[in-house]
Structure 1
Amino acid sequence: MAESQLMCMEDGLMPAAVPESRPQFYYSEQQRVALERLITEGDGAFKTLLKDEDSQDFLSAREIKAITSTFLKYQSEENDGGASTSAAKREDSESLRSTYWPQMSDTDVPPLDIGWPSSGLFKGVTKVSVFTHPPKENGPHIKEVARKLIQESCKVVAIVMDLLTDLQILQDLFEASKRGVPVYIVLDLQGAPHFLDMCSRLKVGAKELQNVRTRTVKGVGLSLSMGRIPGNVHSKYMLIDGDKVMFGTYSFSWSSSRMDRNMITVMSGQVVDFYDNDFRELYAISDKLDLFKEFHLSKPRTGTQSRASVPKRPSTATSRFQVNLGDATRGDLKVPAHKYHNPKYLLALGQIPDRGPTEPLQDFLDKMMPPDPSQQDQENPMEDQENIAPLPSQTGKKESKKFRLTFNTKRNKKGKEDKTSDKVIEENAANPSDNTSKNTVTTDETQDSVKKKKGFWSFFKKS
């Protein structure tokens, strides 16, 4: 309802009449009564009423013709055949329609489902360019400016127009849709049939309409006691990528670009936010115009994109110092021998044997002991040689210096006993032929150290 009508509903509050001489003058009860007389009794009764009320004639001949031709009566529920049925429905509803004042709409707001650039960011300093038809100062034609903006768009194209029938501009919009740019069009309800006619002449298909959303909107109009006078949408602007706007008197039609005098303004900057909000408001109150249904086309299927295959993790560890905990459920998983020295690794793997009440404690501890080193040497003899003594091929002065530097750090702590071990290592590096005998002694000494629970360096102490 209008603000003046809401004020009239207040108890003891009657707004003062605003004279026509003031800029705030907008609504007149005398004009509303005269419009009803025009619709019900004709032009003669309308002018007679104005003369009796000592009022001025406020309608031109063109407006009188447009109002009388577009007036819409309210649809009555009663008819000759079903008067009793409609009366029963009114009794059941208890006339709730007269007392229903919703604070929110009971219909969903149409979403901008194919994308919309984010707003609210600073768009820079406002820049303005003005173009006219006919062009001035060798400027471009207004149709050329509009087509160039559409062809250079990459994010979104949003149009509010009273008439959109230019074939070249329609082709540019459909080409933008084919390259993935969202195209939103809000048309005046009376201009929608002409838009559909030109689209059918172009023979558009589903591929061109995939990224196009078209809706229709009505003007404000004027509600009377017996019907409604519809209004038109004369807003003409186009948003490009959320940072440019083109507005003016130019309609996207052939006659407007060839025969009419027009002026358009292209602006960029913070002022674009106003047009951004206005377009979304018009889009929210508009009605859907399904182009696929109008042209009897099937909507293209939008399949889900398949994700790239991710390689699986290796089933076993690639190093003897790594264990994959994710594969702990596998029974064939081999844990390195050095991991058995600390029971927490077995606990993490979930492979600690459940010691029953009858199982002796010593048997449980035996399972926690590392495997026999002699068997490990038979399976992988080169691994022990690598840990204890250098390989026969790795001889020379560089290896002897390396071992000398390694054990000199220990010599500072252990004193004179480590000097003997230093000499033994140097002899091994100098005489690679004696490595086999040294390895045999090393294996025996290692077995003795495991049984006596001594460290690995006890071998060098004994040697």
Structure 2
Amino acid sequence: MAESQLLCMEDGLMPTAVPESRPQFYYSEQHRAALERLITGGDGAFKSLLKDENGQDFLSAREITAITSSFVKYKTDEENGGASAGQDKRDDAGSLHSTYWPQMSDTEVPPLDIGWPSSGLFKGVTRVAVHTHPPKDNGPHIKEVVRKLIQESSKVVAIVMDLLTDLQILRDLFEASKRGVPIYIVLDEPGAPHFLDMCNRLQVGARDLQNIRTRTVKGIGLNLSVGRIPGNVQSKYMLIDGDKVMFGTYSFSWSSSRMDRNMITVMSGQVVDFYDNDFRELYAISDKLDLFKQFHMTKPQTGTLSRAAVPKRPAAATSRFQVNLGDVTRGDGKVPAHKYHNPKYLLALGQIPGPTEPLQDFFNKMEPPDPETEQELENPTEELENLTPDPSPPEKKKSKKLKLSFKSKRGKKDKKSDEVIEENPANPSDEASKHTLTRDETQDSLKKKNTECMCVIA
């Protein structure tokens, strides 16, 4: 309904008439009254009314023929099968029919159930290619362009067309359906019987129609007091994979591709979003055309995907480098012993019971290393050849004595000379200690022993 018609329905508001000379002129009450006179009285009554009101004849002979032949009269209660007894009683009582103005549609919006590419993303700069029939500049035929777009499709093909009867294009659509490409077709309602006739000639099967959804849509039309004048769908475009669109005057019929002059435009880029939204709107207001029902076929059952069984997570981590924190918090997890000696795990886990000693006792026993014991000895290679430390028991790891074993070169059995070297970190300058040898004396004695003894490596 036009905006001017909606304004007329407001209480106490009468918009000003828009003259025909202004571009905003769209609706005229004089035209509406003339159309009703045309429907009820014929062409003569129509022209006489325009003459009496000093109006111009705004319909061509072709339009008059099309309107009178397509006019649909409103159905009464008797034509709908009769009213109920209660309604007859209410009508006899003089009650008026209530008017229903729904805020939302009574029917659900048909879903694009076989797939639709996501939109809303930037598709790049708009690019345009124009093709004509007959071709210009040695360009391809418009039918070749359309067929190539269908054959190269991989995501979706969506068509809005007034007439779809070309056998080659229909075969390409069915082949794309077999490949798993979703095919959506919205046809003008008067062109639907011709589409069904051509599909019947091709002897389509259930496999051909599995990924095809077909619906019909009507034009805007014009509602009168005595009936309705239907309109037609003149939009002719095709969406490919959500990133290309073909539109123009070309109808998918043999005569349109051979005998008519046509022009099509193939575009890609951000402008495709407009056609994407327009197709969804037309699909939402369209009526279902069940091809399986039309051709008396049974729709194949599509198996549902069952969720794969996922194994349960183990109670505790099996790797020595992993700890299941969720299980540790419950107190039933075991933490590897080596992680108690790593600061990052101590900070993460805190006081958690484990197989080792408590953490506080462990911290209390830790002592800083002696810096003098970490000093490197002079001539390390020479001393490594001469010195062989005996393995000491674990409880004496902190001892600062170095035990050396020497064996005489003369081959005396079980004769060993043991010398003990001590370093006093408490008072290094104390020379009065009789049990302490300086570093120089230790080196001199080692050189003397080297000439007489041979180091025994245990």
Scaled by the length of structure 2, the TM-score of the pair is 0.69
Distance 1:344 1:47, change over 3 A: same
Helix, strand or coil for the counterpart of 1:194? helix
Whichever residue aligns with residue 398 of structure 2, its letter is K
Distance 1:285 1:82, change over 3 A: closer
Deviation at 1:9, TM superposition (A): 2.8
RMSD: 4.0
Superimposed CA distance per residue, residues 240-295 of structure 1 (whole angstroms, 9 cap, x where no aligned partner)? 01110000000000000000000000000111011000000000000000111111
Distance 1:15 1:325, change over 3 A: closer
Describe how 1:209-358 pairs up with structure 2 within 5 A.
209-306=209-306, 344=353
Distance 1:79 1:325, change over 3 A: closer
Whole-angstrom CA distance in 2 between matches of 1:21 and 1:108: 43
Distance 1:408 1:65, change over 3 A: farther
Which residue is 2:88 aligned to?
A: 87
Helix, strand or coil for the counterpart of 1:246? strand
Distance 1:120 1:325, change over 3 A: closer
Structure 1 position 194 matched with structure 2 position 179: no
Helix, strand or coil for the counterpart of 2:132? strand
Structure 1 runs not aligned, ≥5 long: 328-334, 347-402, 424-463
Q: Could you tell me whether the CA contact under 8 Å between 1:163 and 1:195 is conserved in 2?
A: yes
Superimposed CA distance per residue, residues 371-422 of structure 1 (whole angstroms, 9 cap, x where no aligned partner)? xxxxxxxxxxxxxxxxxxxxxxxxxxxxxxxx97986998651344x969x9
Helix, strand or coil for the counterpart of 1:245? strand
Higher gyration radius (CA) = 2
Which residue is 1:207 aligned to?
A: 207
Which residue is 2:98 aligned to?
A: 97
Whole-angstrom CA distance in 2 between matches of 1:258 and 1:160: 21
Deviation at 1:22, TM superposition (A): 1.3
Which residue is 1:388 aligned to?
A: none
Whichever residue aligns with residue 219 of structure 1, its letter is G
Distance 1:135 1:87, change over 3 A: same
Helix, strand or coil for the counterpart of 1:163? coil
Q: Could you tell me whether the CA contact under 8 Å between 2:2 and 2:27 is conserved in 1?
A: no
Whichever residue aligns with residue 246 of structure 2, its letter is M
Distance 1:152 1:325, change over 3 A: same
Q: Could you tell me whether the CA contact under 8 Å between 1:34 and 1:49 is conserved in 2?
A: yes
Helix, strand or coil for the counterpart of 1:168? helix
Whichever residue aligns with residue 45 of structure 1, its letter is A
Whole-angstrom CA distance in 1 between matches of 2:352 and 2:15: 91
Whole-angstrom CA distance in 1 between matches of 2:95 and 2:24: 40
Q: Could you tell me whether the CA contact under 8 Å between 1:411 and 1:419 is conserved in 2?
A: no
1:414 to 386, 399, 423: 399
Whole-angstrom CA distance in 2 between matches of 1:277 and 1:298: 32
Whole-angstrom CA distance in 2 between matches of 1:318 and 1:80: 75
Q: Could you tell me whether the CA contact under 8 Å between 1:147 and 1:169 is conserved in 2?
A: yes
Whole-angstrom CA distance in 1 between matches of 2:149 and 2:251: 15
Distance 1:343 1:135, change over 3 A: closer
Whichever residue aligns with residue 88 of structure 2, its letter is A
Q: Could you tell me whether the CA contact under 8 Å between 2:218 and 2:286 is conserved in 1?
A: yes
Structure 1 position 123 matched with structure 2 position 131: no
Whole-angstrom CA distance in 1 between matches of 2:205 and 2:51: 58
Helix, strand or coil for the counterpart of 2:293? helix
Deviation at 1:214, TM superposition (A): 0.5
Deviation at 1:208, TM superposition (A): 1.1
Describe how 1:380-395 pairs up with structure 2 within 5 A.
none
Structure 1 position 12 matched with structure 2 position 16: no
Superimposed CA distance per residue, residues 165-219 of structure 1 (whole angstroms, 9 cap, x where no aligned partner)? 0011111111111111111000000000000111111111111111111000000
Helix, strand or coil for the counterpart of 1:413? coil
Deviation at 1:55, TM superposition (A): 1.0
Scaled by the length of structure 1, the TM-score of the pair is 0.69
Deviation at 1:45, TM superposition (A): 1.1
Structure 2 runs not aligned, ≥5 long: 328-333, 338-350, 356-387, 407-458
